[in-house]
Amino acid sequence: MNFPTLLQVTSLLVVSTVPASLLAQTPANSDGNWPKEIVTDQIHLLLYQPEVDTWKDNRIEARSALRMTQLGDPKEMFGTIVMSARTEVDRETRTVSFEDINIKEVNLPSSGSLQPILLKAVRDSSPDWPKTVSLDRLLADLSINQAQSQAEGIRLKNDPPRVVFSTVPAVLIIIDGEPVYKPVEGTHYSRVMNTLALILFDSSINTFYLDGERWWMSATSLNGPWSVATNPPQEIVDIRDQLKKQEDQEEAGALANPNETPPVVYVSTGPAELVVTTGNPQYAPIAKTKLLYVTNTDNDIFIDSKSQQYYTLLAGRWFTAKSTNGPWEWVSGDRLPRDFSRIPPESPKGHVLAAIPGTEQAKEAVIANQIPQTATVRRSEAKLEVHYDGPPRFVPIQGTSMEYAVNTISEVIHAEGRYYAIQHGIWFVADSPLGPWVVADMIPAVIYTIPPSSPLYHVRYAYVYGATPEYVYVGYTPGYLGAYAYDGTVVFGTGWWYPGTLCGDYWCGWPWTWGFGFQFSYWGGGWFWHPMGHHWWYHNPPFAHRIYSEHWNPQWRGSNRTWIRNNVNIYGHWQGNTLAGRALPGLQHGPAAAPSHGAPHPDVYAGRNGQVYQHNERGWSTPNSSGQWQRVPSNPGLERQRQSRSLGQSRQDEFQRRGQTPGIPRTGTFSGRTSAPPRSTSQPRGGVRR
| Model pLDDT for residues 90-118, shown as the tens digit of each residue | 777 778 888 888 888 877 766 667 777 77
662 CB-near residues (< 8 Å, 6+ apart): 521, 523, 524, 654, 655, 675, 676, 678, 679
As a whole number, mean pLDDT of residues 610-630 equals: 78
484 has a pLDDT exceeding 50? yes
Q: Which amino acid belongs to residue 257? A: N
Q: Which of 29-33, 82-86, 117-121, 631-635 has the lowest mean pLDDT?
A: 29-33
Query: Residue 589's pLDDT is what?
Result: 29
Task: Express each pLDDT in 329-374 by its tens digit.
Answer: 999 998 999 999 999 988 999 989 999 999 888 887 887 787 788 8
Please report the pLDDT score of residue 600 as a whole number.
58
Q: pLDDT category, 649, cuts 50, 70, 90?
A: low
Residue 66: its H or E element = strand 59-70
pLDDT digits (tens, 9 = 90+) for 545-599: 677 654 444 444 433 434 433 456 788 888 889 998 643 333 232 333 444 444 5
Looking at the DSSP bridge assignments, the partners of residue 476 are 373, 462
What integer pLDDT is reported at residue 534 of this predicted model?
55
pLDDT score recorded for residue 689:
45
Q: C-alpha dihedral over 96, 98, 99, 102, to 10 degrees?
A: 160
The better pLDDT of the pair 181, 619 is held by: 181
Could you write out the DSSP letters of every residue in 428-449?
A: EEESSTT---EE-S-B-GGGGG
Full-prediction pTM beyond 0.75?
no
The better pLDDT of the pair 41, 249 is held by 41
Where does the pLDDT of residue 643 fall: very low under 50, low under 70, confident under 90, or very high at 90 and above? low
Residues 651-677 have pLDDT tens digits of 555 555 544 333 333 333 333 322 233
pLDDT at 614 over 70: yes
Nearest to 497 by CA among 320, 268, 657: 268
Which DSSP letter does residue 340 get? G
Parse the chain into domains and list their residue ranges.
7-149+588-658, 162-365, 373-476
Least confident piece of the model among 72-81, 218-227, 297-306, 500-509: 72-81
- Other CB atoms within 10 A of residue 59 CB: 16
Q: Kindly list the strands in the beta sheet with 207-212, ordered across the sheet, starting from the edge strand earlier in the chain.
A: 181-183, 189-192, 199-202, 207-212, 215-219, 227-228
C-alpha to C-alpha distance for 527 and 482, rounded to whole angstroms: 9
Task: Give me the pLDDT at residue 427, please.
Answer: 97
pLDDT for the residue 258: 61
| Rounded Cα–Cα distance for residues 441 and 429 (Å) | 9
Q: Concatenated DSSP letters for 527-582?
A: EE---GGG---B---TTHHHHTTTT------TT-HHHHHHHH-GGGG--TTSBPP-
State the chain's maximal CA–CA distance in angstroms.
Answer: 97
Fill in the DSSP letter of residue 175.
B
Residues 227-251 have pLDDT tens digits of 999 899 999 999 999 888 877 655 4
Q: What pLDDT is attached to residue 481? A: 87
Out of 241-245, 271-275, 368-372, 634-638, give the one with best mean pLDDT: 271-275
Position 679 confidence tier, pLDDT thresholds 50, 70, 90: very low
Residues 6+ apart with CB under 8 A from 215: 228, 229, 262
* pLDDT averaged over every residue in the chain: 77
Q: Using CB atoms within 10 A of its CB, is residue 205 exposed (0-12), middle (13-18) or buried (19+)? A: exposed
